[in-house]
Amino acid sequence: MAPKQLSLGLSLPTSWAREDFLVADGNADALGWIDRWPGWPNGILVLYGPPGSGKTHLAHIWAAQAGARIVGAEAVTAGNVDALAQGPLCVDDADGIADPAALFHLINLIRERGHSLLLTGSAPPAQWPYALPDLMSRLKAMPAQGIAEPDDALLGAVLVKLFADRQLAVGEEVVKYLVPRIERSFHAARHWVAALDAAALAESRAVTVALARKLLEQQISA
């Protein structure tokens, strides 16, 4: 009998290293833009794609080579713009900033000071939900690169990496079972790996095809 693979239920760190970024047709152009820095037009770039598509990983790769800070949308406020514009900066989920005027001021200040700015969002910048005309004009003029959902090969590689991040020894047959049956997205891959990890812990068993089948059938019948 195979030994049980137990999950300790720990919050394990995600690796943002370049060597752990999985390159495929849908994200190769985005990585190319990261490598093109500091040759971005006006020192600014927008990356957009669905949740979990790799935008944050690319932001960390860029931040490591540019010496940049990474902040979330909540950090961009009128009182914080000057402090943020002291050097190269990435604003993750920049399409969720509560104060559009602060983002407009930040973009202008970054450009005036000759720093670089990376913005990420879920949709192309022309579709960001901001009513400030001057800001939308700035956003529409920025170079922007999308990231596509994964194909089968990349989805399988992502599942392998996510299981490894959780220190779960999962057989190739589990990955082959999941790829054609789950939603083709990074978000879904993260969801199902977390669900399988939790179920394996709760039942003190290995992550197997049988367990994966059980969870998928439970979702269908729910």
25 confidence band (pLDDT: 50, 70, 90): confident
Looking at residue 7, its pLDDT comes to 37
Looking at residue 16, its pLDDT comes to 77
Task: Indicate if the pLDDT at residue 22 is higher than 80.
Answer: no
Domain boundaries along the sequence of the chain? 23-146, 149-221
Mean pLDDT of the chain: 89
| DSSP label at residue 124 | -
15 confidence band (pLDDT: 50, 70, 90): low
Looking at residue 102, its pLDDT comes to 98
Q: Would the pTM of this model clear 0.95, i.e. be above it?
A: no
Please give the share of the chain, as a percent, with pLDDT higher than 90: 72
Residue in this structure with the two tokens 């089948």, named with its chain if needed: 213
Task: Indicate if the pLDDT at residue 187 is higher than 90.
Answer: no
Looking at residue 1, its pLDDT comes to 33
Task: Indicate if the pLDDT at residue 130 is higher than 50.
Answer: yes
The CATH number, out of the four listed (3.30.70, 1.10.8, 1.10.357, 3.30.1370), of the domain defined by the range 149-221? 1.10.8
CATH of domain 23-146: 3.40.50.300
The DSSP line for 82-121 is HHHTTS-EEEETGGG-S-HHHHHHHHHHHHHTT--EEEEE
37-51: average pLDDT: 94
Residue 47, CA distances (Å) to 64, 83, 168 in order: 17, 23, 31
